[in-house]
Structure 1
Amino acid sequence: MSSGVRGGGTLERTGAPLLGVAFILVLGTFMASLDATIVAVGIDTLVEEFDASVADIQWVTTAYLLAIVTVMPMSGWLADRFGGRRTWLTAVAVFLLGSVACAVAWSVPSLVVFRVLQGLGGGLLPPTGQALLARVAGPERIGRIISVVSVVPLLSPVLGPLIGGSILSVAEWPWLFLVNIPIGLVAMVLAWRYVPVVAPTDRSAPFDVRGAMLLPPGLAVLVFGLTELADTGQGGTFDVAIVALAVGVGMLVAFGVHGMRSRRPALLDVRLFTRPPFGAAATALLAVAASVFGTMFLLPLFLQAGRGLSAWEAGLLLAPQGVGAAVGALVVSRIIGQFAPRTLVLTGMALIAIGTVPFTQLPDLGDGVIAVALLVRGMGSALIGAPTMNIVYSRIEATQTARASSALNLMHYVGGSLGTAVLAVVLQTRLSAEGVDVTSAFAGCFWWVLGLCVVAALWAVRLPRRVERARSS
């Protein structure tokens, strides 16, 4: 039995119980990731229901994202202090409480407050679930199992609008939140019964008060600035965005200095980024998240504004990316131990680039080409996430797993926000330029997506060139 794991002896002998644990934990990640995008298609419905402006209703999405990035850095300390399973179960309970509260919200301010509560639970689920799974699986088997669960964050921006559109076509808006209840309750019951207890790594670890005053607020202000920048021209203010970005970056730099100088463990271990290959892997994930989420911001807008499709029709056309991600996950689960991480990641980035090129020619693009391009992009995304996380989890010390997971997931969310904001500003600039039609403006933005692929590749070349066997747990 792995050190620190109780009640999970069978997991060492067969893969079936481990797959069951992975399925249970991934339900939490699925809820949290899906809820970041499922509400997007309900903006118009909420505007009408609450008689509010689009700018006011956008805070329903922004508040959730801000809560996630605020609480996510704390997930490592919470798991180390109270144990992974207990932290995960508590996070699910908070998330479900927030979901019920959102469904009974009576005004925009109340809905925003309840979305913050929901985000505080949702922000803990992905990093805590991944760290717990890595501890249970051990370094020898984490590669194959992470290739399956890592597909979930890739599916959420695809499935969110599709599921949200489906719900609103047959039910009222509260069901955008109530849909989480049966999933969450099933996950809690199964986790209580089947997920092993992983002993806390350090119950005496002091809470980093100074870090908590710098990192979570700094991230929240940074993401607010990115969101405000993305909404410039639709309620957002450019000057406010710039000030928020400057303050957010300043607080993060101050936290970085604090983290490097502190003798005690910081809220987020910034020293991890100086240890190869963690720094390269985390930065590559940030750039890839910017590309994936940026594309899933652009395409639904183009399909609805440029081609006049409904939210349901646009979501259906985006589904091939999810199919590609699922197929890619199955492929990488079989070959992850046979090829070097750098080979797999660069291949995935090449596939994303190939799948992006057709979108630079949008005026001449048919639905069939869009579907094939998205299928290729989905497969490429699956070849990136699993190998990068595998190389981190298989080489990191068991006591650092929770904090490493917190950092990786944080980079994923910040990367998605960064990519969306940058592409939104580029799109606004192109749409306001003289002589540029809507389709050409969107097509020009995808050259920036290709640029993000290049940035990610420049970091990915620093990943290991050889296949190395995982160390013994």
Structure 2
Amino acid sequence: MTSSSTPAHAHAGPPDTKLDRHILIVAGVVVLGAIMSILDVTVVSVAQNTFQQEFGTDAAGAAWTMTGYTLALAAVIPLSSWAAARFGTKKVYLTSLVLFVIGSALCALAWNIGSLVAFRVIQGLGGGLLMPIGMMILTKAAGPERVGSVMAVLGIPMLLGPIAGPILGGLLIEKASWHWVFLINVPIGIVAIIYSWFALRNDEETSRPSIDFVGLLLLSPGLALFLYGISSSSEAGTFISAKVLVPAIIGAVLIAGFIWHALRSDKPLLDLRLFRNRTLTVAVISMTLFMIAFFGASLLFPQYFIGVRGETTLSAGLLLAPQGIGAMLTMPIAGRMTDKIGPGKFVLSGIVLMFLGMGTFVFVGAETSYLILCGALFVQGLGMGMTMMPIMTAALATLTNSQVPDGSTLVNVVQQTASSIGSAVIAVILATNLKNAPEGMLAIVSNTAPDKLPAGMQGAPVPTSFFEAAANAFGSTFVVGAILIALTLIPAFFLPRKKIASSLTEEDMDRAPIVMH
């Protein structure tokens, strides 16, 4: 391998877009952290009913095990750029892993729902930094010529988390106990800590910047309040509720205040001047629409299989496997080719495939063939693998080394916000569609206890017409997801359709990429 002191621009010939052994080692570190952070969200979602039974709480109380984690992520992600500059990416990444592992172990020891929520917050404070810091490490290690390839590697846990989570969660709860939903992170986390200690290189220099306290006091609570309001809509069943509007509006005002402050500050917590970069702006808009549609739809698939078709959590997870297989087939190819010919063509083709796959579910019924549904999920998976990571590549490939921390933080803020909005919007629309259906159907689809069903239905066979009506409600909700996917075509049309030119300066190229010796 070329010595780290050799300037990147000194090499003759076309740049190499292949991932060498050293970059793959670094990628392995980041993927381990991402797997824990992302899987934990979907695995815990499967355990909601178990938490209600174990701790004697209701659905709203159990939901705080997810909400608390999400709010902790939102609060800590904006700090990632400053923390990387102040302490170095290796130290911050290791600290995040340690915090996440400690939080996981504490969650397994929880004695009531309050303690579990508190420990989930600790876990979220660690997990919130794993993805943005990991993206910084990978992007700098690979350099602009190989961003697409490394993003494809990082995309595997991001895309497969919603699919593997229900399978893993179902297995752990059915075969072991709810404690293992969290305990499984401990051995994986210890391996990741040891691996990171030896594989990651210490940053050669840190800039020791002072923290932007005004920006921090505006953005972190602003994001947390906004996402809390949005996520509360699922429980409220509507967006027109004081519980939803009050925190969401206060959060939006704080975020607007941060934008005003950041554009006038010399050293803001997050440099929003990056939006002057046209490619970054188009990629962020594309990513926002894509994330809203993708995470919203991810909520619907398992609910349909469980609530309408009567499948177990484990079976529902296995039925979603074709989507993951499709993504795994196209993602590595799209990553490598994006580095060579740009993201535009792949993203547009991927969105069309996703629209076709999700469009099939618009016509879903109570007895639609699993062959058709699994085929549609496979097609959608092919599209997913060609969409998400090329968009992220477009967002980061034109940035200089000094801009990567802010760019990575910005991408993760957008991802977290858009995924929360998507889940909330789709949940509210589904609940509305189910409420407009025959009495008792919402209770049946939601797996409500039999004694809470309407009088006359308790102990009686559920009419077939109810499940058909439920399927129609899901189909109507999938229409929204398909429309959002189609709308992504508009900004995606403006993504580069040729190789993205690097924005690295001579100074950036003279710096060594961060790789293992």
Deviation at 1:99, TM superposition (A): 0.4
Pick one of 409, 419, 424 that aligns with 1:416.
419
Which stretch of the first structure deviates more once superposed, 310-319 or 376-385? 376-385
Does the CA-based 8 Å contact 1:136-1:198 persist in structure 2? Answer: no
For residues 200 and 254 of structure 1, the distance between their equivalents in structure 2, rounded to whole angstroms, comes to: 32
Deviation at 1:405, TM superposition (A): 0.6
Secondary structure of the 1:123 match is helix
Quote the residue 1:260 is aligned against.
Answer: 263
Quote the residue 2:337 is aligned against.
Answer: 335
For residues 206 and 3 of structure 1, the distance between their equivalents in structure 2, rounded to whole angstroms, comes to: 29
Query: Is 1:365 aligned to 2:397, yes or no?
Result: no
Does the CA-based 8 Å contact 2:19-2:142 persist in structure 1? Answer: no
Pick one of 435, 448, 460 that aligns with 2:480.
448
**Code of the aligned partner of 2:123:** Q
Secondary structure of the 1:427 match is helix
Structure 1 segment 333-412 matched on structure 2, within 5 A:
333-363=335-365, 365-412=368-415
Quote the residue 1:460 is aligned against.
Answer: 492
Query: Is 1:38 aligned to 2:70, yes or no?
Result: no
Query: Is 1:122 aligned to 2:122, yes or no?
Result: no
Quote the residue 1:149 is aligned against.
Answer: 154
Deviation at 1:299, TM superposition (A): 1.2
Deviation at 1:468, TM superposition (A): 3.5
> Runs in 1 of length 4+ with deviation above 4 angstroms?
1-5, 11-14
For residues 17 and 394 of structure 2, the distance between their equivalents in structure 1, rounded to whole angstroms, comes to: 21
Quote the residue 1:22 is aligned against.
Answer: 27
Quote the residue 1:165 is aligned against.
Answer: 170
For residues 173 and 343 of structure 2, the distance between their equivalents in structure 1, rounded to whole angstroms, comes to: 42
**Code of the aligned partner of 1:362:** V
Structure 1 segment 60-459 matched on structure 2, within 5 A:
60-203=65-208, 205-233=209-237, 238-264=241-267, 266-363=268-365, 365-434=368-437, 437-459=469-491
Deviation at 1:82, TM superposition (A): 0.6
Tell me which structure has the larger Cα radius of gyration: 2
For residues 219 and 174 of structure 1, the distance between their equivalents in structure 2, rounded to whole angstroms, comes to: 30
For residues 117 and 155 of structure 1, the distance between their equivalents in structure 2, rounded to whole angstroms, comes to: 24
Deviation at 1:330, TM superposition (A): 2.2
For residues 112 and 237 of structure 2, the distance between their equivalents in structure 1, rounded to whole angstroms, comes to: 25
TM-score by length of 1: 0.94
Quote the residue 2:457 is aligned against.
Answer: none
Secondary structure of the 1:153 match is helix
For residues 133 and 233 of structure 1, the distance between their equivalents in structure 2, rounded to whole angstroms, comes to: 40
Secondary structure of the 1:130 match is helix
TM-score by length of 2: 0.86
Deviation at 1:393, TM superposition (A): 2.6
Deviation at 1:233, TM superposition (A): 4.3
Does the CA-based 8 Å contact 2:324-2:381 persist in structure 1? Answer: yes
Does the CA-based 8 Å contact 1:88-1:128 persist in structure 2? Answer: yes
For residues 229 and 395 of structure 1, the distance between their equivalents in structure 2, rounded to whole angstroms, comes to: 37
Which stretch of the first structure deviates more once superposed, 278-287 or 364-373? 364-373
Does the CA-based 8 Å contact 2:279-2:495 persist in structure 1? Answer: yes
Does the CA-based 8 Å contact 2:324-2:378 persist in structure 1? Answer: yes
**Code of the aligned partner of 2:225:** V
For residues 206 and 341 of structure 2, the distance between their equivalents in structure 1, rounded to whole angstroms, comes to: 32
**Code of the aligned partner of 2:130:** L
**1:319-353 CA distances to partner (integer Å, 9 max, x unpaired)?**
11111111111221342234332111111111110
Is there any run of 5+ residues in structure 2 with no aligned partner, and where?
A: 8-15, 439-467, 510-517
For residues 272 and 333 of structure 1, the distance between their equivalents in structure 2, rounded to whole angstroms, comes to: 23
Secondary structure of the 1:309 match is coil
Deviation at 1:200, TM superposition (A): 4.4
**1:404-459 CA distances to partner (integer Å, 9 max, x unpaired)?**
11111121111111111111111122112256921111100111001211332222
Deviation at 1:2, TM superposition (A): 5.3
Which stretch of the first structure deviates more once superposed, 52-61 or 191-200? 191-200
Quote the residue 1:8 is aligned against.
Answer: none
Secondary structure of the 2:263 match is helix
Q: 1:434 to 1:133 in 2, by over 3 A?
A: closer
For residues 368 and 397 of structure 2, the distance between their equivalents in structure 1, rounded to whole angstroms, comes to: 42
Which stretch of the first structure deviates more once superposed, 225-234 or 94-103? 225-234
Does the CA-based 8 Å contact 2:31-2:153 persist in structure 1? Answer: no
For residues 128 and 207 of structure 1, the distance between their equivalents in structure 2, rounded to whole angstroms, comes to: 17
Is there any run of 5+ residues in structure 1 with no aligned partner, and where?
A: 6-10
